[in-house]
Amino acid sequence: MSTPNVQTIAILGAGQMGGGIAHVSAAGAYTVLLSDVTLERAEKGRFDIELRLGKAVEKGKLTAGQRAEILGRITPVEGLSRFAEADFVIEAANENEALKKSLFRQFDELCRPDIVLATNTSSIPITRIAAVTRRPERVIGMHFMNPVPVMKLVEIIRGLATSDATHETTLQVCARLDKTTVTSRDIGGFIVNRVLMPMINEAIYALYEGIGTATDIDTGMKLGTNQPMGPLELADFIGLDTCLAIMEVLQAGLGDSKYRPCPLLRQYVEAGWLGRKTGRGFHIYAKS
């Protein structure tokens, strides 16, 4: 049941989350295969990391030599072409259960049978993803927080079949990424979103009911409870479509009406007001 010594991590998905995971993995001295559907997308992911590392050098937080070393450990790859070389896989594709299941079937075929397959999901049950493989004991959830290089936490989720050895290997990888971990059972929303999303949803109800303006609600929570962002600003940062999808998972999975998404949240998503990424959510942003 033991898992191999990890030297090479393959990361599927070179977007914001996958790129952040590649960044901290390379900074943790792992060899990184950064994969996306096309080589161009994987290369773009590596380029974004290069830009971020460049800013850290400008601020004097990193030397040019360290930047070159970190970048030198990241190889962009197309699709799953080199996954047979991996000692540990982290999937960071879109939050879509059918897609994740399809990817895990392919990992199971291509990757060595003794390695751990991890999924960066914020709410899809690990047990269901593990069940499509022939190694459910080696499947685990690693929920990274955005922005990955800044946030200290990785939430680890054990599926029903996840073995102690898989859990231990994953904790060791996170320690080398300089992350603090908490371990959650595989139940609706895990720990962080089980607590965070109802708070955000309640803030949206406060706006919906006219209790205060978006700025009053955010300033109240930011300065009154020492959070770096108010709940509506944080919802915009996460993406309102993602917030709605997670509330729906909580409502469907836990069956309690207290998890009903606020109608205003649904309406914003229907309007295409998805937060920072579209330039408008509960606040207005310059498009990036």
CB of 87 to ligand CAA, least distance (A): 26
Please report, as ranges, the residues that interact with ligand CAA according to CB under 6 A: 52, 59, 61, 122, 145-147, 149-151, 192-193, 228-229, 234, 238
CB of 222 to ligand CAA, least distance (A): 10
CB of 55 to ligand CAA, least distance (A): 6
Annotated catalytic residue, options 35, 120, 163, 193: 193
Burial 202-214 (b: 16+ CB within 10 A, else e): ebbbbbeeeeeeb
Nearest to ligand CAA of 56, 161 (CB atom): 56
* 120 is an active site residue: no
Annotated catalytic residue, options 95, 137, 155, 233: 155
DSSP state of 270: H
Contacts (Cβ under 8 Å, ≥6 apart) of 184: 141, 155, 156, 157, 158, 190, 191
Question: Rounded to the nearest 10 degrees, how much is the dihedral formed by the CA atoms of 218, 219, 225, 228?
Answer: 70
CB of 81 to ligand CAA, least distance (A): 27
* 167 is an active site residue: no
* 283 is an active site residue: no
Cα gap 233→219, rounded to integer Å: 10
Nearest to ligand CAA of 1, 51 (CB atom): 51
Cα gap 274→262, rounded to integer Å: 15
CB 116 within 8 A of CB 138: yes
* 81 is an active site residue: no
Cα gap 11→93, rounded to integer Å: 9
Nearest to ligand CAA of 49, 80 (CB atom): 49
Nearest to ligand CAA of 59, 287 (CB atom): 59
Annotated catalytic residue, options 25, 122, 184, 201: 122
Q: Mind telling me the catalytic residues? A: 122, 143, 155, 193
